[in-house]
Amino acid sequence: MSLFNQRYIKEDYDAGLKTYGPGPKALLWWDYRSMAIRFRELVMDVPIEGKTILDAGCGMGDLLPFLYAKSTDFDYLGVDRSKDFIEIAKKRYEGHRFKVGDPFNNRIGMFDVVLSSGVMNGNADGWLKKRKIMISDLFDQTGEVLAFNMAGGLKPIRHDSLIAYADAQEIFDYCKTLSSRVVLRAHYLQKDFAIVMYKTSLKT
């Protein structure tokens, strides 16, 4: 059984695609600017060159240009539950691999780097416990680095019908139980934060 009610989440994205077309709003982003800020912050502290990369919940592959800005030498796999998103991504980025799947419930494999943007935001019963499980599952699939972002911040934010806004400090503290090397970035937008978790064996 899925950690969040993935069927309804998928339906929200599919409806967004039909309403707005293949742009940021289809992915429930407000606009390109906010999406770009999130992506830049997500990969800022992540080594890209020569790495194998899993983009968990890749949408239409919009993260790829921000990886290109750091390096063009990487082996990328994008995974998403939406068949429509994957079909668009394959047409946009023909040199990379994409597949329909659920990286949170089915182990995809081992990767140097695992990235996940805007996926762990659902407002469902037990959402905090479920997000922690999702973080742990993704961290198990990386040999070096997991980076993810999440709706929330260091100050309390009232939840809405779609999004449960997390306490960034609480998520950060949980991540420190899994890794001794964790970076929290909570300065770039009012309702979003990013966390980068390194495996302790990573050379410095």
CATH of domain 6-198: 3.40.50.150
Percent of the chain beyond pLDDT 70?
82
Residue type for position 174: Y
Residue type for position 101: G
Distance of CA 61 to the CA centre of its chain: 12
The predicted-structure confidence for 60-82, as pLDDT tens digits, reads as follows 999 999 999 999 999 999 999 98
Span 101-126, average pLDDT: 86
Q: Which pLDDT score is estimated for 45?
A: 93
Residue 20 predicted with pLDDT over 60: no
Query: Is the CB of residue 93 less than 8 Å from the CB of residue 61?
Result: yes
Taking all residues of the chain, what is their mean pLDDT, rounded to a whole number?
84
The predicted-structure confidence for 116-160, as pLDDT tens digits, reads as follows 998 888 777 778 888 999 999 999 999 999 999 999 999 878 877
Q: Which pLDDT score is estimated for 88?
A: 94
Query: Is the CB of residue 39 less than 8 Å from the CB of residue 62?
Result: yes
Note the pTM of the prediction, 2 decimals. Answer: 0.83
Residue 10 predicted with pLDDT over 90: no
Q: 192-198 and 74-80 as β-strands: parallel, antiparallel, unpaired?
A: unpaired
Q: Which pLDDT score is estimated for 155?
A: 87
* Residue matched to tokens 């949980």: 174
| Residue ranges covered by each domain of the chain | 6-198
Q: Give residue 201's pLDDT band: very low, low, confident or very high (50, 70, 90).
A: low
